[in-house]
Amino acid sequence: MRAKILIVEDENDIGSFMVRTLNRKGFNAIRAETGKEALRLVELEKPEVILLDIMLPDIDGFEICKRVSRQHPEISIIMVTARGEDVDKIRGLELGADDYIIKPFNPMELIARIKAVIRRTNKPDNSNEVVIGPLRIDYNCRQVYKNGVVLDLTPREFCLLKVFVNNLNKALTRDEILNWVWGEDYIGDTKTVDVHVRRLREKIEDDPSHPKYIETVWGKGYLFRKGD
């Protein structure tokens, strides 16, 4: 089955071009021109990936990203924006986006990013579960429990946690984490790692400002400890 991609873009020339390009490359591309229409199509069509413009005529892309990430964490989001400021990239990642691409972009780069997020989220897990203190990680169900309560982790956060758990007490560089979680073909920078680590800490740590599990290794990256 062809992967369904929802394009949220109000500029007709750009939106039509993206639909044609993706359909020619074997995807099932659909389009929304407003935020309201995008939210409706998310519920109706259940896309695998959303290409989400920030500047829309009604609801902005950040608000859509927040809602979709909360209600449908299984859907991957790539922010598409003409802005190049780091603050916009970071804000999108903090709200649940998996990646971002800046207009104008090369169509082949866009295709590569879509394929990369689909590969990462569809990657199977063959192991069972791991228990670390109050955390129980069920790889088959792709769920994490803390003190018996399921945590609302996105697919990317789950993959990040799995990488940490598979490398207990080992300091990992940001580049290593990027390669394992986002793939070697990921086109982005290490700020992505820092944003997702911060979000993961907020969900698994009792006190994210004084983490017990995910430690920062200055000048290198991060290290995951078992805790007490």
pLDDT tens-digit series, residues 131-161: 898 999 987 778 899 999 999 998 889 889 9
* Residue 129 tokens, joined: 């579960």
Q: Three-class SS of residue 222?
A: strand
Could you give the CA distance from residue 221 to residue 23 in angstroms, rounded to a whole number? 39
**Where is average pLDDT lowest: 2-6, 12-16, 133-137, 224-228?**
224-228
CB neighbour class for 49 (10 Å; exposed up to 12, middle 13-18, buried from 19)? buried
CB neighbour class for 125 (10 Å; exposed up to 12, middle 13-18, buried from 19)? middle
Residue 173 identity (one-letter amino acid): T
Whether 124 shows a pLDDT value over 70: the answer reads no
Could you give the CA distance from residue 190 to residue 207 in angstroms, rounded to a whole number? 24
Please give the residue that has the higher pLDDT: either 161 or 83: 161
Could you give the CA distance from residue 109 to residue 128 in angstroms, rounded to a whole number? 35
Which residues on adjacent β-strands are paired with residue 50?
Answer: 6, 77
Q: What's the confidence (pLDDT) of residue 126?
A: 47
Could you give the CA distance from residue 40 to residue 52 in angstroms, rounded to a whole number? 14
Q: What's the confidence (pLDDT) of residue 214?
A: 95
Q: What's the confidence (pLDDT) of residue 125?
A: 47
> Rounded to two decimals, what is the model's pTM?
0.64
Please give the residue that has the higher pLDDT: either 120 or 157: 157
Q: Is residue 116 very low, low, confident or very high in pLDDT (cuts 50, 70, 90)?
A: confident
Q: What's the confidence (pLDDT) of residue 102?
A: 85
Please give the residue that has the higher pLDDT: either 115 or 71: 115
Q: What's the confidence (pLDDT) of residue 95?
A: 85
Could you give the CA distance from residue 124 to residue 203 in angstroms, rounded to a whole number? 23
CB-based contact 77:65 (threshold 8 Å): yes
Strand ranges for 123-213 from DSSP E: 129-132, 135-138, 143-146, 149-150, 172-173
Q: What's the confidence (pLDDT) of residue 1?
A: 60
Summarize pLDDT for 39-73 with one digit per residue, the tens: 999 988 889 999 999 889 999 899 999 899 888 88
Whether 129 shows a pLDDT value over 90: the answer reads no
Looking at every residue in the chain, the average pLDDT score rounds to 87
CB neighbour class for 12 (10 Å; exposed up to 12, middle 13-18, buried from 19)? exposed
